Structure 1
Amino acid sequence: MTEELDFNNLIPELHYYIHRKPTPGWKIEPCITAFIDITYVMHGKAEYTINDQTYIVNKGDLICIPQNSYREAVTIPDDLIECYATNFLLRNKTGQNVSLPLPVISHIGTNPQLIALYNDMHSEWLQHNFGYMLKVRGFLCLILHLILDQLLNKTNNAQDDPRIKNSIRYMSAHYWENLTTEKMARRFHLHPAYYGNLFQKSTGMTFKQYLISIRLNYAENLLKSGEYSVGEVALQCGFSDIFYFSKLFKAKKGIPPSACFHEVKKL
């Protein structure tokens, strides 16, 4: 299912948001949801019944209730739930409703980055400043990306180590330079062999492979602008040999860079 869904073209439409802090008598009345409900549990417990199955949710759980599902819930009186809840529709670029390939309950633990995004969205939601819904939708997109990245992108573990995260940030800003494992290892006071193993374990690619991928992605972007020749693009992206660049580009993108350039020129 994850292979069929184009995550780059998901368009969420937010209908309702709440930072929920229930009283002991709180409950969600039985209903059929006309939306996707994603709820992140910050503290406490609650009992949810979703499509005739009952779940006890706890701190660190993510609840994903599909559109058109039966839903009801009650809090646990001696351990009141606190959570962030968003109700939204999700469409693809052609306007068709799509669902998220997530289990009803996922335990993602305490995620400071996710909490910070919810806090920012909460602040904007309450202030109702000029264009606040546009900003809130932006936060919702970031929240969905973070959730999907954590639960579905099994090759992306770079966030686990700040040294690798900072390495990738540096590579993205200095991709055209003569970057090597040895130079980057010195930045973090690590042995090159240890740094290289750490990088590959975190990203699933060697340092060189990751750097080439960044360079080729930027090269594709430049070619699509139609403003540069293939040779100019190669040099700007850190390739001194245009033939080597063309070989790598074709292997990665499936077409030679000249074809990409000429296609843009036709437009």
Structure 2
Amino acid sequence: MPDYFLDFSVTNINTIVERNAEQWAVNKLSFANSCVMVLCLAGKADYVFSDGSTVSSKKDRILFFPPKNIRSGKADPEEPWHFISVNFDVVNLNGNRDVFQSLPGFIDSVPESVRTKFKKLSAVWKEKSYLYKLKCRILTEEILYDLLNLEKSNGDPHSHAREIEAVTDFLQQNFTQKISLEDIGKFHQLSETHFRKLFHQVTGMSVKEYLIKLRLDYAIELLSSGEFNITETADLCGFCDVYYFCSLFKKKYGCSPSKRMQKKR
């Protein structure tokens, strides 16, 4: 299930390795805080994890290893594997769900555009030219962005997912306006009960909760800019009642809008 509010930033690239290895092997490899993403360009290797589960690499498969993931691995000498590995740090910027919770352990048959970005990553890292770490962070974020979108489009199990996505797109574009059930109903052909249930399954929240989150996230932007007072912010975010806005804001962020404004000064 895609996280519609997932947001993250790659803060550091620790190392990028490209190898064509016959004798490659690792034993109980793990990183406390960093993530690893590996693209197999050719050949094969087998991984065994601390819980006894296994996974194999194959051409055009990307493997993901989150922090604290303990694994041992060995290349197949009859099919030496050629791979590009990216070790990086990532920070979650919104909510409790991180990027690796939104990705499976591996993705097969990645598009050529992703392969090209991996190869560019490897080349930029080897050259170490001006601003190379910045370039590598940007490329890594682009790869993760592409893969998250690929997983979203290929892996959504809900038969009416496109209708729900049409609703979320409408809400994202119009959340500052007054929105009725009739407005939302134009984007799906489901019963109201079925729609509410399906929307919650896909987004993890009700329509009302989704709309409130959009408005409160926008309120943070407006208040942080220092250009709008609380009443103006509430109105611009689609709240008719400033007191209701303040109550929701404090419940979500643990402080009043005025306190939030003071922190930004």
TM-score, normalised relative to structure 1 = 0.64
Q: Deviations over 1:17-41 (max 9, x none)?
A: 44x7x5xx72316689797643245
Unpaired runs of 5+ residues, structure 1, are: 1-6, 93-99, 151-155
Note if contact 2:12-2:88 (Cα within 8 Å) is conserved in structure 1: yes
Q: 1:110 aligns with which of 102, 108, 111?
A: 108
Quote the residue 1:64 is aligned against: 65
Q: 1:120 aligns with which of 112, 117, 121?
A: 117
Distance apart, 1:236 and its partner CA:
0.5
Change (3 A) 1:234 1:88: same
Q: d(CA) in 2 for partners of 1:82 and 1:225?
A: 51
1:47 and 2:43 aligned: no
Quote the residue 2:164 is aligned against: 164
Q: Deviations over 1:72-104 (max 9, x none)?
A: 622263xx4767532425387xxxxxxx998xx
Moved more, 58-67 or 235-244: 58-67
SS in structure 1 of the partner of residue 74 of structure 2: strand
Q: How does 1:20-35 map to 2 (within 5 A)?
A: 26-28=22-24
Q: d(CA) in 2 for partners of 1:204 and 1:70?
A: 32
The letter of the residue matching 1:250 is: K
Quote the residue 1:221 is aligned against: 221
Q: d(CA) in 1 for partners of 2:243 and 2:66?
A: 51
Change (3 A) 1:218 1:15: same
Q: d(CA) in 1 for partners of 2:196 and 2:250?
A: 26
Q: d(CA) in 2 for partners of 1:194 and 1:54?
A: 37
Unpaired runs of 5+ residues, structure 2, are: 1-6, 92-97, 151-155
The letter of the residue matching 2:87 is: F
Note if contact 2:13-2:88 (Cα within 8 Å) is conserved in structure 1: yes
Quote the residue 1:137 is aligned against: 137
SS in structure 1 of the partner of residue 89 of structure 2: strand
Q: How does 1:1-267 map to 2 (within 5 A)?
A: 11-18=11-18, 26-28=22-24, 37-41=36-40, 45-48=44-47, 57-59=56-58, 62=63, 64=65, 73-75=74-76, 77=78, 80=79, 85-90=84-89, 107-110=105-108, 116-123=113-120, 125-126=122-123, 133-143=133-143, 161-264=161-264, 267=265
Note if contact 2:117-2:143 (Cα within 8 Å) is conserved in structure 1: no
User: Per chain length, whose mean CA-contact separation is higher, i.e. which structure has more relative contact order (CA < 8 Å, sep 6+)?
Assistant: 2
Distance apart, 1:198 and its partner CA:
1.5
Q: d(CA) in 2 for partners of 1:229 and 1:46?
A: 58
Root-mean-square deviation over aligned CA pairs: 4.8
